[in-house]
């Protein structure tokens, strides 16, 4: 591509003029010193009123992709399939690309890495994970694979906003979701936020930059906040916890990486405890530095635009992701042999498959709900979908990833003959 030195003007073709696209446009207008100018904006609906000059817009993607003067494509649209076509075409035409489309990136990262190598065009996407928090570039550059022990983060602003509004401000789930949509935090299909899909897409991207592993998001265990109940909130309060949707990966003793997205009880000693509203937070643990905490706005027009802007600025000094951990180190394996300490609640105890647990640590029931706390092997969650069904809520306990576990009872069969009392250890 034609960006060779610090003084090169970035001539941008922008796809999308939603909250982020418009945020970027306004910021670039106000900061001419950046030497970056939007030449054309491609939008889906040409008849919508826009806060920018009419002749800036087109509905024809080729006008941007065929324009020799445009040396950077910024892709900020919602439709992951269309984004894939735009980004791959632009890279093949040796244009630099900046994108915030986490779904598209997570699903196609191997091909996108190959295109960058083949055509020599850089592809940056800091805005795709945690918006304003520079987590990708830090994982890529700073943390050596061997030293990186774990990452656990609130990486979806909408669900964190909803949880804050529901638990702290006592408003209903639907009203909180509507507010998240009105603020421009939610995906246009909010199920992507609520059911944990957006978080898992981000985790998939983080895994590539943290450990050099490519795991398609569909292969990462996950659920969202859709089944959390009022009784979960009461239980959490009694125990001094808050509930957060946490994306995490942790290196086990055997070197394999356990990764998943689950709601989790968080103690007030955890940095994630006070991450509220649309803010995101990421705790990174490494052998020497111990814990480090990244905190910032994880959704919304300007926070996302700030990361896009940072990528544009990085293009001016020829920065690109080198995927060093993927290329030059032996990437660790995805773990499939570990245990989780999990809480499960449901209206009826009969709907909780207690026999799948290796040990039940607590069991309680009242007229509204039943809940258990137990240890379960990871495979009991990947092999069946019982825990994703409506009416069943699963929440990970603090320090809930266990490398190994020796059941207190010799076998499930033995445990059963003691009757229900044996569920309480
Ligand atoms: N819907 C996303 C979120 C937007 O709420 O985090 C930022 O990626």
- Regarding the beta carbon of 185 and ligand 1, being less than 6 Å apart is answered yes
Which protein residue's CA is at the shortest distance from atom 4 of ligand 1? 299
Which protein residue's CA is at the shortest distance from atom 7 of ligand 1? 299
- For residue 278, report the distance from its CA to the centre of ligand 1, in Å: 8
- Regarding the beta carbon of 186 and ligand 1, being less than 6 Å apart is answered yes
Tens of pLDDT along the chain (425 residues) come to: 555 554 578 999 999 999 899 989 998 988 877 789 999 999 999 989 999 999 999 999 999 999 999 999 999 999 999 999 999 999 999 999 999 999 999 999 999 999 999 999 999 999 999 999 999 999 999 887 678 999 999 999 999 999 999 999 999 999 999 999 999 999 999 999 999 999 999 999 999 999 999 999 999 999 999 999 999 999 999 999 999 999 999 999 999 999 999 999 999 999 999 999 999 999 999 988 899 999 999 999 999 999 999 999 999 989 999 999 999 889 899 999 999 999 999 998 889 999 999 999 999 998 889 999 999 999 999 999 999 999 999 999 999 999 999 876 544 444 443 333 333 33
Atom of ligand 1 nearest to the CA of 185: 5
Assigned fold of 10-128: Rossmann fold (3.40.50)
Residues 6+ apart with CB under 8 A from 416: 355, 422
Pocket test of ligand 1: the residue of 153, 183, 188, 193 to mutate, having most ligand atoms within 8 Å of its CB, is: 193
Relative to beta strand 370-377, strand 36-42 is unpaired
323 φψ region: left (φ > 0), alpha (ψ -120 to 50), beta (else): left
Counting other chains too, the contacts that 68-71 makes at CB distance below 8 Å and 24 or more residues apart are 69/11, 69/39, 70/11, 70/12, 70/13, 70/39, 70/40, 70/95, 71/1, 71/2, 71/3, 71/8, 71/10, 71/11, 71/95, 71/96
- Regarding the beta carbon of 358 and ligand 1, being less than 6 Å apart is answered no
- For residue 19, report the distance from its CA to the centre of ligand 1, in Å: 12
- Regarding the beta carbon of 195 and ligand 1, being less than 6 Å apart is answered no
- For residue 194, report the distance from its CA to the centre of ligand 1, in Å: 10
- For residue 210, report the distance from its CA to the centre of ligand 1, in Å: 20
Q: Tokens 């635009």 belong to which residue?
A: 305
Q: What is the pLDDT of residues 297-352, one digit of tens each?
A: 999 999 999 999 999 999 998 999 999 999 988 989 999 999 999 999 999 888 99
The residue ranges of every structural domain in the chain are 10-128, 135-297, 339-422
Atom of ligand 1 nearest to the CA of 160: 5
Token duo for residue 70 = 């445009």
| Whole-number CA gyration radius for the chain | 23
β-sheet bridge partners, residue 371: 345, 364
Atom of ligand 1 nearest to the CA of 186: 1
- Regarding the beta carbon of 270 and ligand 1, being less than 6 Å apart is answered no
pLDDT at 3: 53
Atom of ligand 1 nearest to the CA of 161: 5
Atom of ligand 1 nearest to the CA of 156: 6
- Regarding the beta carbon of 296 and ligand 1, being less than 6 Å apart is answered no
The torsion angles phi and psi of 69, rounded to 5 degrees, stand at -75, -30
pLDDT at 411: 46
CATH class, range 339-422: alpha beta
- For residue 115, report the distance from its CA to the centre of ligand 1, in Å: 26
- Regarding the beta carbon of 126 and ligand 1, being less than 6 Å apart is answered no
Q: Tokens 């544009």 belong to which residue?
A: 312
- For residue 58, report the distance from its CA to the centre of ligand 1, in Å: 27
- Regarding the beta carbon of 198 and ligand 1, being less than 6 Å apart is answered yes
- Regarding the beta carbon of 177 and ligand 1, being less than 6 Å apart is answered no
- Regarding the beta carbon of 127 and ligand 1, being less than 6 Å apart is answered no
- Regarding the beta carbon of 193 and ligand 1, being less than 6 Å apart is answered yes
For the chain, how many helices (H) and strands (E)? 14, 16
- For residue 202, report the distance from its CA to the centre of ligand 1, in Å: 10
pLDDT at 174: 95
Nearest CA to 28 out of 41, 45, 47, 44 is that of 41
Catalytic residue set? 202
- pTM for the full predicted model: 0.94
| Cα distances (angstroms) measured from residue 242 to each of 181, 235, 375 | 23, 10, 21
Token duo for residue 345 = 């609640």
Relative to beta strand 370-377, strand 393-402 is unpaired
Q: CATH second-level architecture of 135-297?
A: 2-Layer Sandwich (3.30)
- Regarding the beta carbon of 131 and ligand 1, being less than 6 Å apart is answered yes
Which protein residue's CA is at the shortest distance from atom 8 of ligand 1? 299
Of all helices (H) and strands (E), which one includes residue 198? helix 197-211
- For residue 197, report the distance from its CA to the centre of ligand 1, in Å: 11
């Amino acid at each position: 591509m034609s960006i060779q030195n610090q003084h090169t003007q970035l001539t941008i073709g922008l796809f999308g003029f939603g909250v982020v696209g418009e945020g970027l446009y306004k910021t670039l207008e106000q900061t001419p010193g950046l030497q970056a100018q939007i030449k054309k904006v491609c939008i889906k609906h040409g008849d919508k009123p826009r806060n920018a000059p009419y002749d800036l817009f087109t509905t024809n993607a080729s006008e941007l992709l065929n324009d020799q003067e445009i040396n950077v494509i910024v892709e900020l649209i919602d439709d992951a399939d269309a984004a894939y076509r735009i980004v791959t075409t632009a890279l093949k035409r040796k244009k630099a690309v900046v994108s915030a489309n986490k779904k598209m990136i997570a699903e196609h990262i191997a091909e996108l890495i190959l295109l960058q190598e083949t055509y020599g065009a850089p592809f940056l996407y800091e805005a795709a994970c945690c918006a304003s928090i520079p987590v990708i570039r830090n994982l890529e550059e700073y943390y050596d694979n061997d030293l990186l022990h774990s990452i656990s983060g609130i990486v979806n602003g909408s669900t964190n906003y909803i949880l804050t509004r529901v638990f702290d401000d006592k408003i209903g789930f639907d009203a909180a979701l509507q507010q998240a949509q009105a603020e421009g935090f939610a995906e246009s299909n909010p199920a992507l936020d609520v059911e944990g899909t957006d978080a898992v897409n981000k985790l998939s991207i983080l895994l590539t930059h943290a450990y050099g592993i490519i795991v398609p998001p569909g292969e990462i265990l996950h659920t969202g906040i859709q089944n959390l109940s009022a009784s979960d909130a009461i239980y959490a309060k009694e125990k001094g916890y808050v509930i957060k949707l946490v994306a995490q990966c942790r290196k086990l003793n055997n070197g394999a990486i356990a990764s998943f997205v689950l709601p989790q009880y968080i103690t007030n000693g955890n940095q994630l405890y006070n991450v509220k509203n649309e803010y995101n937070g990421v705790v990174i643990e490494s052998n020497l530095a111990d814990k480090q905490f990244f905190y910032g706005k994880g959704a919304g027009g300007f926070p996302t635009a700030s990361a896009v802007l940072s990528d544009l600025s990085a293009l001016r000094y020829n920065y690109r992701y080198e995927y060093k951990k993927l290329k030059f180190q032996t990437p660790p394996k995805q773990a499939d042999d570990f245990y989780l300490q999990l809480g499960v609640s449901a209206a009826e105890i009969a709907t909780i498959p207690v026999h799948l647990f290796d040990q039940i640590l607590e069991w309680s029931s009242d007229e509204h709900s039943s809940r258990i706390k137990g240890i379960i092997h990871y495979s009991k969650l990947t092999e069946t979908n019982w825990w994703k069904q409506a009416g069943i809520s699963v929440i990970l306990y603090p320090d809930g990833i266990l490398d190994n576990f020796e059941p207190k009872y010799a076998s499930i069969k033995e445990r059963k003959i003691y009757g229900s009392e044996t569920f309480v250890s």
